[in-house]
Amino acid sequence: MPTLSPTPPEFSPKGRYTQERMEGFDKAHQDFWWPEERKLMHHLMAEQNEAFAWTETERGKLREDFFKPVRIATVPHTPWVQGNRPIAPFLFEPVCEQIRSKIEAGVYEPSSSSYRSRWFCVLKKDGKSLRIVHSLEPLNAVTIAHSGLPPNTEELASRFAGRSCGTTMDLYTPFGAMRLVTLPMGWTNSVPIFHEDITAILQPEIPHITEPFVDDVPVKGPLTRAEPIQKLTRKSVQWEWGEEQDKTMADLKKAVEEAPVLKPLDVTSGQPVRLSVDTLYLAVGWYISQRDAVDPNKWNYAKRELYGIMRALKENEYTLVMARPLVVETDAKYVQGMLQNPGAAPNATINRWIENVRKFYFELSHVMGKTFPADGLSRRRKQPGDSERREFEEFLDTDPPDPITYSKKFPEDDDPLTV
């Protein structure tokens, strides 16, 4: 992806990006960017103007030498012919104009097919423009489903954690055709096929710049949310707490309250991934953390008990699988003894918890509870709207040979179950 100049020139119309379109862009985003940021965006859009489409006739197609035409695989069936509702008089001319523009753009072409499906119009977000939507229920009923799946939304969202600004480039989505010239929106296989094509096009920019989600291409912004506060810790910067720092602190507090992921794990740093658990009769609280490879500050971690460790590990199994090294810290001394001597457990329930915990490879480390004051995660009472407790499926694999290693931080950490 070409590198942008940090000092972009003043705007000059180029190709499709005209003065009128630039002014419309500014009007729609005048309160979102700083003037210099808008200047940079205008420079990008002018230089890459052929990549943007404002009308049907400006949109392009994927080259067939890169992407072969899509073939719709179906089960044996009988062709269908569905009648359509008459167009309302006041909509007739706008609808005809829509169809003409799609024919000019190559989306529609005349057809003598044995199939005919319904279509209808809906209003777009502006409340005035029309969008033609094709009813594809009969086609979906006989289509052999594609095996591809879109990305996991939670995982994708976590990759953008901590970014001060995330941009989404919405690539033009086709809505169907009189003859299937483009991928019709609503067809069973449109999502996985289109996602595969977009991923192939943007392969050099994945995952450090973007990770596409179907036709949306989120662009990762810089990790600068806490910069106004972080810069005050530098020796070369004079301490001055002002309005900018107050706003940053408020934003960070809001992020902690609302965001499930504050920053993605750095899988290349070699730093341990830490799962911190705090268990109380009200709830089980946990968080995942990792030390900064550049500035490995010392952190304190929550206490935990066997059930809390089991719940936290299984709840976060997707995130923690293959995390090496993984450290689980607890202030409950007896947990280490229970994991080392599973046969000494008093009942089948605890044995099942121990079995589930031992499916993970990690180092169990004891810390003193008095050194960890932030145990509020487990003290939060259930609130309206909270989801019910998840029921976890049992693991199907067998116990690995001694997956847990143990470390003591204090000499008095004796195993209560060891004779």
User: What tens digit of pLDDT does each residue of 233-247 get?
Assistant: 777 788 888 888 888
Confidence (pLDDT) at 17: 92
Residue with tokens 């940090």: 6
Domain 270-407 class in CATH? alpha beta
Please count the other Cβ atoms lying within 10 Å of the Cβ belonging to residue 85. 9
Residue 419: per-residue pLDDT: 33
DSSP state string for 111-133: ---S-B--EEEEE-TTSS-EEEE
CATH class of 55-236: alpha beta
pTM for the model stands at: 0.39
Largest CA distance in the chain: 90
How is residue 103 written in tokens?
A: 């024919």
Least confident of 310-314, 334-338, 397-401: 397-401
Q: Is the pLDDT of residue 394 over 60?
A: no
- Percent pLDDT > 90 in the chain is 2
Task: Calculate the average pLDDT of the chain.
Answer: 72
Binning pLDDT at 50, 70 and 90, where does residue 229 land?
confident
Task: Please compute the mean of the pLDDT values over residues 103-116 and round it to a whole number.
Answer: 78
Domain ranges in the chain?
1-52, 55-236, 270-407
Residue with the bigger pLDDT between 342 and 45: it is 45
- Across the range 163-185, mean pLDDT stands at 50
User: 111 with 178: CB under 8 angstroms?
Assistant: yes
Amino acid in position 217: V
Whether the Cβ atoms of residue 366 and residue 330 lie closer than 8 Å to each other = yes
Indicate if the pLDDT at residue 256 is higher than 60.
yes
* Dist CA 32 CA 41 (whole Å): 12
